[in-house]
Amino acid sequence: MSDTIQTLLQENRHFSPSPEFVAQANASDVSIYESAAADPIGFWEGWAQRLDWFEPWHTVCDFQPPHAKWFLGGKLNAAFNCVDRHAAATPDRRAIVFEGEPGDTRTLTYAQLKDEVSQVANALKELGVTKGDRVSIYMPMIAELAIAMLACARIGAGHTVVFGGFSAESLQERTNDAKAKVIITADGGWRRGNVVPLLKIVEDALDLGCPQVEKVLVFERIGEKAGADLAVSRHSHLLESWTEVVGRQSNDCPCEVMDSEDLLFILYTSGSTGKPKGIVHTTGGYLTGTFATTKLVFDLKEDDLHFCTADCGWVTGHSYVVYGPLANGGTVLMYEGAPDTPDKDRFWKIIEKHKATILYTAPTAIRAFMKWGLEYPQRCDLSSLRLLGSVGEPINPEAWIWYQEHIGGGRCPVVDTWWQTETGAIMITALPGITPTKPGSATWPFPGIKISVVGEEGVGVTVAGPQSTHGVPGVGGYLVIEHPWPSMTRGIYNDPDRYEKTYWSKFPGKYFAGDGVKLDDEGYLWLLGRVDDIMLVAGHNISTMEVESALVSHPSVAEAAVIGKSHELKGQAISAFVILRGGFEPTDGLVDELKKHVAHKIGAIARPDDIFISAELPKTRSGKIMRRLLRDVAEGRALGDTTTLADPTVVSSLKTQYEDKES
């Protein structure tokens, strides 16, 4: 650990935005929290008024727990707000800057984006899609993916984007649950220099049975190397070439007039157990939430280039690659491939080449960058960056400071943003022109959002920004959201009971997020991970996150995953799975040292009973560690559902190694 990091952690230092940043910031007045808390409905209405509506709403919010509706009676179109209004005002401004993995680039101005979205929208109509239908999208992370989403929104068809790394079974299950009439795909995409054969996987899904699918629109991304010939395919009667069908369309396609509460999209969350949940988002509320948070959290301006590294297969890609930035008339950078292709400096090269100003990525990526070493970012000029964001998992203080120091050059504010597919938009975050940050804390709720930290009985402390009641140091609880907010999910597609049971039954009338959180004595929120991952050791609640952060703060540890393993006396005993940094050997001496290090950092109660040094950890395709499977390994059970893993072989080989060591 560098001396600077050591000092910063010991000082529990706050980072304040620089005076230059504050002077230019979209939000720099702390009173925004107070006014939003006093009148959340008025706060959100103010943001909705900054969108373009065809007809105004008559009621801002109607909340009949667990169901909320927003901007009732209002009519608008999401594509109009993300494309047309900017194509009219600033036609030559860049909307999308795309870079493919092989290095090909493409820039679309708002005028060009409007033409392409309209042509694809007309193509969908020709294929029989009408307002109220659903379309599934299975594409690489290329500009046409965003275009396809906006084309659906333009004609009032709900989209369901299925991440291009998912299997034929996953695609089939989601497509059928949504009853999608059309699938939009590409012949393939690039990943680590290889072709991901998307069309072949679509064909496998069709073989498994997608009875309601009438057409498949295929974008030719790869060409011959994809090995797909539309004419000779066993499904050729369903396949349509994008070049041909889109190519012959007019660029004039009026936007459908949509009700505020009409479906915008369904996005399936993998979930750690059970069938994926089809999370429903509607038009007016979702757009208001993503529009407001993009403007304030990312401080987005006309001349920014916003680089969100998430794939559009995840909610982060929906909200902060497509809808939020484009609703603001911003410019987004989309990158197709892996961060280590051709080399581990790819993100930094992209930032240098295109002069990206905002970077929004995940802790799992930041920890990989730390492991790869400083030589990669240091090769590139990252001086264009002015703001950094993190999302997806709790960020360890160590990783936060590394990110701030080595990527942000010590000058960029870091916003750690907590939210979920279900919340649609960011819920807990710093506002970069206002909030002094602390490494590892997501800080305060976004204005207009009221979060409570509650115990089993549902009583607790409510936080709504800097003026909130301060917590009891060290006391954690369940994260609940007190009031409805515009971008909240309207439910689980085809499963209303599961919606109520999952989110609204533990604490009636309040949204239960499923995460643990701790409030510190200055009113800052510290996320502790999923409640299923919190351990109960000899009567003490200990979060896996805290022990992992302690491990990662040791110079030998690159990444750690901690679980509670059943224990006769203590209830649960702490087991850790650790990946070492290059140059460190897995010796018994090191294991002992790590145990002592954790005891020293947190207390003897948190000392791991065992530490297993491994080469990899089981992660979901979006990079979250699946601790449930590590519990299966440690407790000698058969592995539960592994279908959401990025690489299912990781956990089976880990299980073998673990069992060899135990025996």
- Given a contact cutoff of 8 angstroms between Cβ atoms, the answer to whether 266 and 280 are in contact is yes
Helices (H) and strands (E) counted in the chain, each on its own, are 23, 33
Q: Rounded to an integer, what distance in angstroms lies between the CA atom of residue 161 and that of residue 178?
A: 11
User: Count residues contacting ligand 6R9 (CB under 6 A)?
Assistant: 21
Cβ 8 to ligand 6R9 shortest distance, Å: 20
**Contact range with ligand 6R9 by CB under 6 A, out of 105-113, 293-301, 335-343, 392-400:** 392-400
| Interaction between residue 281 and ligand 6R9 (CB under 6 A) | no
| Interaction between residue 527 and ligand 6R9 (CB under 6 A) | yes
When binding is defined by CB under 6 A, the residue of 256, 304, 393, 632 that contacts ligand 6R9 is: 393
- Given a contact cutoff of 8 angstroms between Cβ atoms, the answer to whether 509 and 536 are in contact is no
Q: Is 374 left (phi over 0), alpha (psi -120 to 50) or beta?
A: alpha
| Interaction between residue 394 and ligand 6R9 (CB under 6 A) | yes
| Interaction between residue 515 and ligand 6R9 (CB under 6 A) | yes
The DSSP bridge pattern shows strands 194-196 and 189-191 to be antiparallel
**Contact range with ligand 6R9 by CB under 6 A, out of 67-75, 94-102, 413-421, 602-610:** 413-421
Q: Rounded to an integer, what distance in angstroms lies between the CA atom of residue 156 and that of residue 236?
A: 27
What are the DSSP calls for 129-192, one per residue?
--TT-EEEEE--SSHHHHHHHHHHHHHTPEEEE--TTS-HHHHHHHHHHTT-SEEEEES-EEET
Comparing CB distances to ligand 6R9, the nearer of 342 and 514 is 514
Cβ 622 to ligand 6R9 shortest distance, Å: 6
Q: For residue 196, give the H/E element and its range.
A: strand 194-196
Grouping H, G, I as helix, E, B as strand and the rest as coil, residue 95 is: strand
**Contact range with ligand 6R9 by CB under 6 A, out of 234-242, 462-470, 510-518, 652-660:** 510-518
Which of 31, 76, 30 shows the shortest CA–CA distance to 49?
A: 76
| Interaction between residue 416 and ligand 6R9 (CB under 6 A) | yes
Q: Rounded to an integer, what distance in angstroms lies between the CA atom of residue 6 and that of residue 12?
A: 10
**Contact range with ligand 6R9 by CB under 6 A, out of 19-27, 157-165, 229-237, 391-399:** 391-399
Grouping H, G, I as helix, E, B as strand and the rest as coil, residue 637 is: coil
* Torsion sign across C-alpha atoms 429, 432, 434, 440: positive
Binding mask 289-318 for ligand 6R9 (x = CB under 6 A): -------------------------xxx--
Comparing CB distances to ligand 6R9, the nearer of 239 and 625 is 625
Comparing CB distances to ligand 6R9, the nearer of 352 and 515 is 515
**Contact range with ligand 6R9 by CB under 6 A, out of 52-60, 231-239, 410-418, 569-577:** 410-418
Comparing CB distances to ligand 6R9, the nearer of 156 and 324 is 324
When binding is defined by CB under 6 A, the residue of 136, 417, 441, 443 that contacts ligand 6R9 is: 417
Comparing CB distances to ligand 6R9, the nearer of 531 and 580 is 531
Cβ 397 to ligand 6R9 shortest distance, Å: 12
Binding mask 348-387 for ligand 6R9 (x = CB under 6 A): ----------------------------------------
| Interaction between residue 278 and ligand 6R9 (CB under 6 A) | no
Which of 353, 355, 268, 350 shows the shortest CA–CA distance to 313?
A: 268
When binding is defined by CB under 6 A, the residue of 160, 185, 309, 421 that contacts ligand 6R9 is: 421
Which of 162, 149, 147, 152 shows the shortest CA–CA distance to 98?
A: 147
Cβ 277 to ligand 6R9 shortest distance, Å: 10
Q: Label residues 576-594 b or e (16+ Cβ within 10 Å = b).
A: bbbbbeeeeeeeeebbeeb
Q: Rounded to an integer, what distance in angstroms lies between the CA atom of residue 155 and that of residue 127?
A: 12
Cβ 426 to ligand 6R9 shortest distance, Å: 8
Which amino acid is it at 582?
A: G
| Interaction between residue 525 and ligand 6R9 (CB under 6 A) | no
- Strand runs (DSSP E) across 460-570, as ranges? 460-463, 476-481, 491-492, 511-519, 525-530, 534-537, 540-543, 557-567
Comparing CB distances to ligand 6R9, the nearer of 61 and 296 is 296
Q: Rounded to an integer, what distance in angstroms lies between the CA atom of residue 343 and that of residue 349?
A: 10
Comparing CB distances to ligand 6R9, the nearer of 66 and 440 is 440
| Interaction between residue 269 and ligand 6R9 (CB under 6 A) | yes
Dig out the tokens for 265 from the structure: 């999209």
| Interaction between residue 543 and ligand 6R9 (CB under 6 A) | no
When binding is defined by CB under 6 A, the residue of 33, 190, 418, 478 that contacts ligand 6R9 is: 418
Kindly report the number of other CB atoms within 10 A of residue 383's CB atom: 11
* Torsion sign across C-alpha atoms 505, 509, 514, 516: negative
| Interaction between residue 160 and ligand 6R9 (CB under 6 A) | no
Cβ 363 to ligand 6R9 shortest distance, Å: 8
Q: Rounded to an integer, what distance in angstroms lies between the CA atom of residue 552 and that of residue 479?
A: 25
Comparing CB distances to ligand 6R9, the nearer of 345 and 393 is 393
End-to-end alpha carbon distance in the chain:
35
Cβ 460 to ligand 6R9 shortest distance, Å: 18
Q: How far from the centroid of its chain's Cα atoms is residue 436's Cα?
A: 23
Comparing CB distances to ligand 6R9, the nearer of 122 and 309 is 309
Comparing CB distances to ligand 6R9, the nearer of 97 and 312 is 312
Comparing CB distances to ligand 6R9, the nearer of 399 and 634 is 399
When binding is defined by CB under 6 A, the residue of 622, 634, 644, 654 that contacts ligand 6R9 is: 622
Say whether the peptide bond before residue 342 is cis (omega within 30 degrees of 0): yes
**Contact range with ligand 6R9 by CB under 6 A, out of 109-117, 214-222, 300-308, 512-520:** 512-520
| Interaction between residue 420 and ligand 6R9 (CB under 6 A) | yes
When binding is defined by CB under 6 A, the residue of 162, 196, 322, 442 that contacts ligand 6R9 is: 442
Q: Rounded to an integer, what distance in angstroms lies between the CA atom of residue 489 and that of residue 495?
A: 13
Kindly report the number of other CB atoms within 10 A of residue 208's CB atom: 14
| Interaction between residue 611 and ligand 6R9 (CB under 6 A) | no
Contacting residues toward ligand 6R9, per CB under 6 A: 269, 314-316, 391-394, 416-421, 442, 513-515, 527, 530, 622
